């Protein structure tokens, strides 16, 4: 029987690898090399999403991190604040909001099935978080019969 390796490199607490890894020794001590870690995470995500039981806090954190979303960005998506997401992930709330559970599963499935209908929304949220918050001024004008507006940093 082969030796199982307990994988702790993701938010999920009890992941064991039967194969697909190699134990290595370096000048810094013993370690492990995992083959196709992206494939491993995709397989784990598929199992988490397909499980009909409500998401656990660890499941929720894993899917959120795989999507590259912060707690604040995901909170905005589900109509909750960052602290609500943090409480769900830490298990400090009795139950994750059912709507948030379903939406996160949907976003994850969309991101990993090739269609990626929601990918522009997720990319938009990531960019919003990286953007510096500076004072802006807005200039609106009519172009023909329709309004057009632009934003610029600073004041006029």
- Checking phi first, is residue 116 left (phi over 0); if not, alpha (psi -120 to 50) or beta? left
Helices (H), 1-156: 37-50, 57-67, 71-78, 82-90, 98-112, 119-130
Please give the distance of CA 49 from its chain centroid, rounded to a whole number.
13
Tell me: pLDDT of 63 over 50: yes
3-state secondary structure of 49: helix
What's the pLDDT band for 44 if we cut at 50, 70, 90? very high
| Average pLDDT for the chain | 87
In whole angstroms, give the CA distance from residue 84 to residue 43.
27
Tell me: pLDDT of 53 over 90: yes
Q: pLDDT tens for residues 65-103?
A: 999 899 998 998 888 999 999 999 998 877 899 999 999
Would you list the domain boundaries of the chain? 5-130
Q: pLDDT tens for residues 137-156?
A: 788 888 999 888 888 876 44
């Amino acid at each position: 029987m082969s030796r199982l390796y307990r994988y702790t490199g993701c938010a999920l607490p009890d992941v064991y690898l039967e194969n697909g890894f190699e134990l290595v020794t370096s000048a810094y001590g013993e370690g492990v090399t995992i083959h196709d870690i992206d494939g491993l995470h995709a397989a784990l995500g598929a199992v988490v999403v397909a499980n009909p039981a409500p998401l656990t806090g660890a499941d929720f954190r894993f899917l959120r991190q795989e999507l590259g979303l912060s707690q604040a960005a995901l909170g905005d998506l589900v109509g909750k604040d960052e602290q609500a997401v943090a409480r769900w992930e830490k298990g400090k709330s009795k139950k994750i909001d059912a709507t948030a559970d379903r939406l996160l599963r949907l976003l994850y499935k969309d991101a990993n099935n090739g269609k990626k209908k929601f990918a522009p929304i997720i990319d938009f949220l990531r960019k919003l978080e990286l953007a510096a918050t500076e004072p802006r001024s807005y200039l609106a004008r009519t172009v023909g019969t329709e309004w057009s507006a632009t934003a610029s940093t600073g004041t006029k």
